[in-house]
Homo-oligomer: A and B are copies of this chain.
Amino acid sequence: MTEPLPPFPVPEGHDDLLDDLKKLNALPEVVPAPGEPPRLRADAARNRTRLLEVAARLADEGGAARLTMEAVANAAQVGKGTVFRRFGDRTGLLIALLDHHERELQAAFLTGPPPLGPDAPPVERLRAFGAAVIRHDHAHRDLYLAAHADASRRHTSPAGLLRLSHLCMLLRRAEAPGDVELLAQTLLGYLDVSLVDHLVARRGMTLERLEDGWTHLVGRLAGKG
């Protein structure tokens, strides 16, 4: 369960990914922030992990719906204020909860085996990335949907920025023509949880169809010249 929040390990050999992150002003959150690993006080740290444990339990008992700030506070034997101070707001709590899953995904595409990880040609990695994200997010859609309620956060959360810069990097390596950042945003939009969920749940599409759509999209957008 996601402890005090060590910034994730951007592996060696990904300098251009780092460049992208830099350009996206994501540094303070994503990279070791040289001087300030805002150490929690002992009791605070203890409470933090207890809160996350409790929250995780509540979440998979009653779904994200039952995950109310007060419920978490009570179940963790803590005042409501404490929850807010620690996580800022409900969205913050949700993001913290998802952080764990998110890291699994990140590990897969940053350092995992091909075709998702390095050692595969960029276009292939792009395809794999889409499929992985679709399945991953869909598996945890409850929480992701709840977290996405906050529209602005979607574009500024560390996890989102990492996905974005990863796409930028792959597109650049694939020598995709055009405005790379906008292309990446377009692709990211296709993977949006709420869109995928809507297409699956309300329009009856299968994940396979969505993956095929992704493949086609990548083929069209990442093709050279």
Give A residues with C-beta under 8 Å from B: 24, 145, 148-149, 151-152, 154-156, 177-179, 181-183, 185-186, 189-190, 192, 194-195, 198-199, 202-203, 209-210, 212-213, 216-217, 220-221
Contact = CB atoms under 8 A, between A and B. Distances in A.
A185 B195 contact: yes
- Number of chain copies forming the complex: 2
B189 A151 contact: no
22 contacts: A24-B203, A145-B151, A148-B151, A151-B151, A152-B194, A154-B194, A155-B195, A156-B198, A156-B202, A177-B216, A178-B220, A179-B212, A179-B216, A182-B199, A182-B213, A182-B217, A183-B213, A186-B186, A186-B189, A217-B221, A220-B221, A221-B221
A185 B186 CA distance: 10
Contacts of A192: 189
Nearest to A182: B213
Contacts of A202: 155-156
